[in-house]
Amino acid sequence: MKYYLNTLVFILLFSFSFGQNSLGKTDDLGRVQISTYVSDQIDGLPGSAKNLLENKLNQIATVNGMGGSKDSRFIITPNITLLFKEVLPGPPRKVVITLEVYFYIGDGLNGTLFSSEILKVKGVGTSDTKAYISAIKQIKAKNPIFKDFVDKGKFKIVEYYNSHCDFILKEAEAEKSKKHYNVAISKLMEIPQVTKECYETAMDQVAIVFQEKIDNECESHITNANNVWNAGLDTNSANKASSHLSLIDPDSKCYEEGVKLSQRIGQRIQELDQREWDFKMKQYKNREDKEKALIDAVRDIGVAQANNQPKNVYNIKGWW
């Protein structure tokens, strides 16, 4: 098990450090995570223009090295001021507008502003909505003004993780002790790679929590498989048992116990029906298969936890 934990830590650190490799795209897992948030309080912003603005914020964050995250405590958010509007008679009627778009990055939960930037854009359309969309399309994620803006915000976010590292690790440990393994892993995976010492400590803990998680799940799967098998000792109960045995991770501590149970079931089916039982315990084909399964598992845990979290109520009072 110690060898497996060391291997697991190496996989996590290597994969998240080098981003894209034979395992696929993993760089978002090591990035500073930030959420886009467009307030309903922006005066005059049409709904379809709001969606476009959210996409622009995502592009700005991604292009400048931040990973998108659902309901992160850290947000990138805008405000818009209508500076000028003119309606030109047609046909066709045209609406000309000039907008001042303010961009902010900060801690959306405690209301601390980290960074801000302003951009002026113009748009023309046959309606207010189309004019707004035209103007927002002028926002280019690769505009040089956004680099310093994002870098300042990122620096403050990294400062937060460095100063709160011990607290986050203790929170994760508390969740692990309650067997809330997915919650613990998700908390640890929020720590970005750029907080080197804290990140490496967190990866060590992810390996430990993940091992405990699959060991705990393995015991549950073995118990369930034994129960359904012993209830009938026939082909039907064998098939039910296989649905539990198939969920056992090959690196869990009771994997061999699952193999032995599978063999006993196979022998019994042979005695009853004079045929082979067509079931084999899950195995990794090779090292890459094993590494990919780990990366996918950690990623899935993070996504599932994010989707199950209650929506954050952000505090941006005083940002504009």
68-83: per-residue pLDDT in tens? 777 889 999 999 999 9
Angle between helices 255-273 and 196-230 (to 10 degrees): 20
Phi, psi of 241 (to 5 degrees): -65, -35
Per-residue pLDDT of 117-170, as tens digits, reads 999 999 999 999 999 999 999 999 999 999 999 999 999 999 999 999 999 999
Tokens of 196: 């080197």
Give residue for tokens 């937060």.
160
Q: What is the pLDDT of residue 182?
A: 93
Tell me the C-alpha distance between 190 and 168, whole Å.
9
Region 290-310: mean pLDDT is 80
The structure's pTM equals 0.79
Tokens found for residue 175? 């969740």
pLDDT in tens, 98-111: 999 999 999 999 99
Residue 101, pLDDT score: 97
Q: 3-class SS at 77?
A: strand
Q: What is the pLDDT of residues 206-217, one digit of tens each?
A: 989 999 999 999
Q: Is the pLDDT of residue 279 over 90?
A: no
Element (H, E) at 151: helix 145-177
Count other C-beta atoms under 10 Å from residue 266's C-beta: 16
Q: What are phi and psi of 246, to 5 degrees?
A: -70, -15
Which tops the pLDDT comparison, 237 or 3?
237
Q: Which domains does the chain have, with CATH numbers?
A: 23-161 (3.40.50)
